[in-house]
């Protein structure tokens, strides 16, 4: 499993770990981008676990229509 997706004690701790994983020369924008990326992945995983997904063929149909 990817390190930043591993369960940790608190949301705050997960944020700290994600930021610590950034390179020393990372910008604030890099940090925000990383946190938004993680939040979107976690939301997608929650939706998947709740079976709130759209079939691949349905996605293609929607984009092509």
Integer Cα distance of 61 and 65 in angstroms: 6
pLDDT of residue 46: 92
- In order of 24, 26, 31, 32, 64, the CA distances from 41 in angstroms are 24, 21, 16, 14, 25
| Spatial contact of 18 and 33, defined as CB atoms under 8 Å apart | no
Is 8 or 36 the better-scoring residue by pLDDT? Answer: 36
Structure tokens belonging to residue 52 = 């709130």
- The answer, yes or no, to whether residue 7 has pLDDT greater than 60, is no
| Spatial contact of 4 and 38, defined as CB atoms under 8 Å apart | yes
pLDDT of residue 65: 86
- The answer, yes or no, to whether residue 6 has pLDDT greater than 80, is no
- The answer, yes or no, to whether residue 4 has pLDDT greater than 60, is no
Query: Region 4-32: what's the mean pLDDT?
Result: 87
């Amino acid at each position: 499993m990817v390190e930043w997706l591993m369960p940790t004690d608190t949301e705050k701790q997960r944020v700290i770990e994600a930021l610590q994983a950034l390179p020393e020369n990372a910008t604030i924008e890099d940090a925000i981008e990383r946190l938004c990326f993680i939040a979107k992945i976690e939301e997608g995983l929650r939706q998947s676990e709740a079976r709130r997904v759209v079939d691949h063929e349905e996605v293609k149909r929607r984009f092509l229509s």
